[in-house]
Amino acid sequence: MKNLFLLSFVLLLTVNCNRKNSRINSVTQYYKALNNSDYNQVKSLITDSITIVEGDYIMPYSHETFHEHFKWDSIFQPTYKLIALSETNDHVVATVAVNSLRFEFLKNNPLTCRHKIFFKSGKLTKFENMDCIDADWTIWEKERDALVRWTSTHHPELDGFIHDLTMNGAINYLKAIALYKENKSALR
């Protein structure tokens, strides 16, 4: 009887550890897939609907709408580096440093944030942004607002890029950045 109890305990501990390792592995594979621009791999790791929470903003996505978000993000050529991973009973906390053309322009490159990642049936289902450790939101807003104002005045055909979260919106965002930088260089 004693051996049966000990065997059951060891088996339960092993199953629990495997589940935890599986979640850590899923998060690692997710960021690897983002770095490889492999949406099919990303899709295989997430549930049919995924939610991203940024402060008061709750953004629910289907596979189709998340693919649009993925394409928008990929235009900025991001690279993701996992800094730390830890797990509790119901979520994984990932500290991730992201470099991108957008963050570079906004003078917050890399942007290092902690995300709480939840699971459903072994797949990633929700990302909650906990905090961005090294963000300077004052500089971010100053750079963003200057770009938006300048674009509205000098290139109205690109106006609205800041709210257009499609691939075309991201392309226009990069065009606005390039034109803005070109203008600033010409003024020197």
Label each residue of 12-38 as H, E or C.
Answer: HHHHHHHHHHHHHHHHHHHHHHHHCCC
Same domain (yes/no): 169, 79: no
pLDDT at 185: 76
Same domain (yes/no): 143, 99: no
Q: What angle do CA 64, 66, 68 make, to 5 degrees?
A: 75
Same domain (yes/no): 185, 146: yes
Same domain (yes/no): 82, 154: no
Q: What whole-number distance in Å separates Cα of residue 129 and Cα of residue 126?
A: 10
Number of H helices, E strands in the chain: 6, 6
Give percent of the chain with pLDDT exceeding 70.
88
Same domain (yes/no): 130, 140: no
Q: What whole-number distance in Å separates Cα of residue 69 and Cα of residue 185?
A: 32
Which has the higher per-residue pLDDT, 94 or 90? 94
Same domain (yes/no): 127, 142: no
pLDDT at 57: 93
Tell me the pLDDT tens digit for each residue of 36-56: 999 999 999 999 999 999 999
pLDDT at 6: 40
3-state secondary structure of 100: coil
Q: Report the range of poorest mean pLDDT among 1-5, 7-11, 121-125.
A: 7-11
pLDDT at 188: 64
Q: What whole-number distance in Å separates Cα of residue 134 and Cα of residue 107?
A: 11
Q: Residue 15 — pLDDT band, cuts 50, 70, 90?
A: very low
pLDDT at 2: 52
Is-contact 98 31, C-beta < 8 A?
Answer: no
Same domain (yes/no): 125, 60: yes
pLDDT reading at 138 higher than 90: yes
* Residues ≥6 apart with Cβ < 8 Å to 132: 108, 111, 112, 113, 114
Same domain (yes/no): 17, 107: yes
Q: What whole-number distance in Å separates Cα of residue 4 and Cα of residue 2?
A: 5
CATH code where residue 130 lies: 3.10.450.50
Same domain (yes/no): 146, 161: yes
The domain boundary, picked from 135, 150, 168, lies at 135
pLDDT at 20: 52
Same domain (yes/no): 118, 163: no
pTM of the model as a whole:
0.84
Same domain (yes/no): 109, 186: no
Q: Residue 164 — pLDDT band, cuts 50, 70, 90?
A: very high
The domain boundary, picked from 90, 118, 135, lies at 135
Same domain (yes/no): 125, 152: no
Q: What is the mean pLDDT of residues 85-89?
A: 93
The domain boundary, picked from 119, 135, 151, lies at 135
pLDDT at 8: 42
Q: What whole-number distance in Å separates Cα of residue 186 and Cα of residue 188?
A: 6
Indicate the number of domains in the chain.
2
3-state secondary structure of 7: helix
Mean of pLDDT over the chain: 90
The parent domain of residue 107 ranges over 2-135
pLDDT reading at 140 higher than 80: yes
3-state secondary structure of 96: strand
